[in-house]
Amino acid sequence: MQKSSIKISEMLVKLFFFSSLLLFTQISVGQNKISVHDPVMIRENDTFYLFSTGWGINVWSSTDMKNWTDEKPVFDNPPKWAVEAVDGFKGHIWAPDISFYKGQYYLFYSVSAFGKNTSCIGLATNKTLNANDPDFKWVDHGKIIQSFPNKTNWNAIDPNLIVDEQGQAFLSFGSFWDGIKLVKLSDDAMSVDDDLTEIPTIASRKEDSRLPNPPAIDNNPVDAGGNAIEAPFIFKKDGYYYLFASIDYCCKGVNSNYKMIVGRSKNVNGPYLDRDNKPMNTGGGTILLTGNKDWYGLGHNATVSFDGTDYLIFHAYDASDNGNPKLLIKEINWDKDQWPTVKL
């Protein structure tokens, strides 16, 4: 009887060990299992929702930010207005941005042609993100901003909604051309309340805004030029607005050299300064993260806070998987000078 009890105990210990090992393996690799590009995240009740570039906008859900369930895309069919506005658009939607504003979820998204500023930012809203809720329904509000080749020296993609301390909503956006732009939105945040011919540049790699855009390098799109900055995300914390952006080149797999920069301001309109007090709109920006032997390049981040912990959400090009983009979630720490630090 005693020997049988010992054997059963040994079996239970082994079973617990291997179950724990399996669970640890799932947890440690779970967040890297899914292939995403330009991810953003939000939480409703006990569920996290991830939105990313994809056909109709990719959507994922999770209860632990590690194991993800593929949900139905936002759009079954390409929005009619987008097909009409952007020649060749078939429904592959870029760089969504999710926020909860005035009682509903706002999902800004990008419609474009690669390497051109034939682009638009659209908006869809929903009362809930739970597809099983009877109130679940995406309502598309159409075009919010449009850019035009040889007319606007900015690119209407990569939107991010930020609301200042006074409750005023702004949208940052931009990719290449003159850099990152900021516009004031209407009270319902469904239209622009700004003169689009006068909107400021809040971040650029050009050290002199009066200079023309630098030329494209290597085999990169000629029209886009060489001002390789995009994907703004503004995050409020402890009296500062932190502007995160991505520089250099995404979307090249093993040849991607994407990286993240950051600056901050006491005012949502800027100027945003880096650690060396260099303005981001004249080439400033402190490097936050770069690639390494495991990740060729990384960027297009979102920044979120859950239960007092801040997280950086981004994609990185996996060296162990032919440079395919994967989801990474990293905790943000803040140094004594209130600058963010992240370990890859």
Question: pLDDT digit string (tens) for 208-246?
Answer: 988 899 999 998 999 999 999 999 999 999 999 999 999
Low-confidence ranges of the chain (pLDDT < 70): 1-32
Q: How far is residue 339's CA from residue 344's CA, in Å, rounded to a whole number? A: 16
Instruction: Tell me which residue of 121, 142, 30, 129 sits closest to 72, measured CA to CA.
Output: 129
The catalytic residue positions are 38, 230
User: How many angstroms separate the CA atoms of 46 and 62, rounded?
Assistant: 9
3-state secondary structure of 181: strand
Judge if pTM exceeds 0.85: yes
Q: Is 155 annotated as a binding residue?
A: yes
Q: Which amino acid is at 10?
A: E
For the segment 8-26, what is each residue's pLDDT rounded down to a tens digit? 334 433 333 333 333 333 3
- Phi-psi region at 319: left, alpha or beta (left = phi > 0; alpha = psi -120 to 50): alpha
Is 175 known to sit in a ligand binding site?
yes
Architecture of domain 37-342: 5 Propeller (2.115)
Domain ranges of the chain: 37-342
Q: Is 45 annotated as a binding residue?
A: no
What pLDDT was estimated at residue 160?
A: 98
| pLDDT for 199 | 94
Of 299, 308, 186, whose CA–CA distance to 245 is shortest?
Answer: 299
Q: What was the pLDDT predicted at 210?
A: 86
Max CA separation in the chain (angstroms) = 88
- For 316, phi then psi, to 5°, come to -140, 150
Q: At 329, is the secondary structure helix, strand, or coil?
A: strand
